[in-house]
């Protein structure tokens, strides 16, 4: 399951540098998470780091991108392989 940032985001800039997959970037109005890069920190940490640092709790699971833990591990491995071959 990829995460998403809701419009409650206050653009405090703390989530973006915490993302090990560089899935978070500034959108037109507030930060956004690219579902193809979000592994909920699987492979890096026990819990999503953006959720841990968000002061307004505006980072829920994205209902349009539900993935099992196995799927998140597969995505992590694919992203890691892509980084190492680049």
pLDDT tens-place values along the chain, 86 residues long: 799 999 999 999 999 999 999 999 999 999 999 999 999 999 999 999 999 999 999 999 999 999 999 999 999 999 999 877 76
Residues with Cβ within 8 Å of residue 54, at least 6 apart in sequence: 14, 15
- What the chain holds in terms of domains, given with CATH numbers, is 16-85 (3.30.70.20)
Which residues is 3 bridged to in the sheet?
A: 61
The pTM score is 0.91
∠ Cα 81 33 83 (to 5°)? 15
């Amino acid at each position: 399951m990829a995460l998403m940032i809701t419009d409650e985001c206050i653009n405090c800039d703390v989530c973006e540098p915490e993302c090990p997959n560089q899935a978070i970037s500034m959108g037109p109005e507030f930060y956004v998470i690219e579902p193809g890069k979000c592994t909920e920190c699987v492979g890096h940490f026990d819990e999503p780091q953006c959720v841990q640092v968000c002061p307004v709790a505006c980072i829920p699971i994205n209902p349009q991108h539900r993935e099992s833990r196995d799927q998140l591990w597969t995505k992590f491995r694919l992203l890691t392989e892509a980084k190492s071959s680049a």
